[in-house]
Amino acid sequence: MENNIILPRHVAVIMDGNGRWAKKRGLPRTFGHKVGTENVRKIVKYCSKKGIQYLTVYAFSTENFKRPEEEVGTLMKLLVEYFNKETEELRQNGVRLNVIGDISAFSPIVQKAINDGIKKTKDCKDLVFTIALAYGARAELVRAVKMICNDNVKDITEETISKYLYTFDMPDPDLIIRTSGEQRLSNYLLYQAAYSEFYFTDCLWPDFDEREFDKALEEYSKRNRRFGGV
Ligand code: FPP
């Protein structure tokens, strides 16, 4: 890959295709999520190595609560394992864990694992790794509007809204990647994606390795971002 590639500061990912990856192999969907979680580890490491400053992944949407109980249970278990097992290594590698979404509907065990991970990595400065959990962009906007009303804000600007989103302390995503051939946002970062570049690939999330990530970065580096100018 070229060395003078322009790196996105913030990459957001819709990690799609775990279920299909497993089905293709005659395995249960939950196995796809397990391998998908291993891939999260790999991609976080790679982003750290490349010097990407913000990585945000969509791990559980507000709509995902509708999935079969067993699948939701597996996802929760994988999350707890991830936070419990990975936090120390992430901390040593300068990765700050962050969560966006309303995790109050998660069980106390899951909430504790998440909050412990956030607390232990709070001073890390190299990569902010954000996991969207029980997240939906419309719910995020409703929450922001309610808080703005409660705070009685008079002069509401675009920046005011940004400040009331879960993502108040990070730049908007430069690049949004969606794996598995689907080409939609699925209620992900709607306000923040106003000027994001999109990269869609047929590759399923468990197969989306460092080489595939590099392809997305190369494609991004060729785009001409004008932000509405000429
Ligand atoms: C989409 O694939 C994937 C999800 C809904 C869950 C993604 C979650 C993980 C990879 C685990 C999260 C772990 C951490 C630590 C962040 P799908 O099941 O909708 O796939 P399909 O469209 O092929 O059915």
CA distance 184 to 214: 21
pLDDT truncated to tens, each residue of the chain (230 aa)?
A: 555 679 999 999 999 999 999 999 999 999 999 999 999 999 999 999 999 999 999 999 999 999 999 999 999 999 999 999 999 999 999 999 999 999 999 999 999 999 999 999 999 999 999 999 999 999 999 999 999 999 999 999 999 999 999 999 999 999 999 999 999 999 999 999 999 999 999 999 999 999 999 999 999 999 977 778 87
Write the Ramachandran bin of 186: left for phi over 0, alpha for psi from -120 to 50, otherwise beta: left
Smallest Cα–Cα separation from 205: which of 81, 24, 63?
24
Mutate to test the pocket of ligand 1, among 15, 70, 103 (most ligand atoms within 8 A of CB): 15
29, 57, 221 from 36: Cα distances, Å: 11, 12, 26
Cα(218) to centroid(ligand 1), Å: 25
Q: Which residue's alpha carbon is at the smallest distance from atom 11 of ligand 1?
A: 37
Strand partners, 13: 57, 177
Q: Which residue's alpha carbon is at the smallest distance from atom 6 of ligand 1?
A: 59
Ligand 1 atom index nearest CA of 29: 18
Q: Where are the alpha helices (DSSP H) in 25-68?
A: 29-50
Smallest Cα–Cα separation from 198: which of 221, 224, 175?
175
